Amino acid sequence: MRKINFGVIQFPGSNCEQDCFYVVKHILKQNCSYIWHDSKSLKNLDCIIVPGGFSYGDYLRTGAIAAQSNISSKIKDFAHNGGVVIGICNGFQILTELKLLPGVLLRNKSLNFICKDVNLKVTNSNSIFTSEYSHNEILKIPIAHAEGNFFLNKSEVSEVKKFNQIIFQYVNSKGLCDIDSNPNGSIMNIAGIRNKKGNVLGLMPHPERVSENLLGGLDGKKIFQSIIKQLS
């Protein structure tokens, strides 16, 4: 099986890029490189990871300034040409500001920064990012954010349902989507969503933090394994 070429984008203020790099390069034994935000090209990548953090201090709106940087227009072209892109936490916020994904991430309903494990349901296992999971599988993955309250306007709500774009939802331990298991006020308990074409995913939880047993779980690893399988 050929090795997949991953690229992890680094913005000023990114802080989860080393975790992503470590999982891809050292746990999953793939090729991986860092891409600085000012880079003129993306080299020959198969998959781009836009990591978590606080790019540009979260000024203006989360992800808004990163979305204007040199590399972001390259990410947009890459995605429009069918390249696989995954945005985690702040990466998700950046991808919505780039309009590669629908919606916006607002301040958490409670206004608190929330850092804890949450239960997630794999709502759609028929995707590039979730093919290694079973349908409705329940996962435990940590979140760590202040702006994770996913918002869609009315027309976007019907669109994302129609095109099966909802990939992960916050649930209780029995797999039920209820208010109590929604940590941030996200519409329809959405934790992760893909674009219509299916090659771009954004999610608030951090799969890179649960990709080896030493760190408390493996529930996030299959996202990266799914991508590798699809691209091999």
Partner 1 sequence: MSKFNITIEIMPIDSVLDPQGEAIELTLKNNSKYLAANFRVGKRIEFTLESKNKTSCRNTVNDLCEKFLVNEIIEKYKIKIENEKN
Q: Which residues are catalytic?
A: 89, 206, 208
Rounded distance between C-alpha atoms, residue 190 and residue 210, angstroms = 20
H-run or E-run covering 95: helix 90-97
Count of other CB atoms within 10 angstroms of residue 11: 25
Rounded distance between C-alpha atoms, residue 84 and residue 70, angstroms = 19
Q: Compute the least distance from the CB of residue 153 to partner 1, in Å.
A: 6
Rounded distance between C-alpha atoms, residue 157 and residue 173, angstroms = 26
Rounded distance between C-alpha atoms, residue 120 and residue 99, angstroms = 25
Residue 103 interacts with partner 1 (CB under 8 A)?
Answer: yes
| Closer residue to partner 1 (CB): 108 or 226 | 108
Tell which positions 142-171 bind partner 1, by CB under 8 A: 149, 151-153, 156
| Closer residue to partner 1 (CB): 61 or 140 | 61
Among 31, 37, 64, 140, binds partner 1 (CB under 8 A): 64
| Closer residue to partner 1 (CB): 183 or 220 | 183
Length of the chain: 232
Residue ranges that bind partner 1, judged by CB under 8 A: 60-61, 64, 68, 97, 103-104, 106-111, 149, 151-153, 156, 185
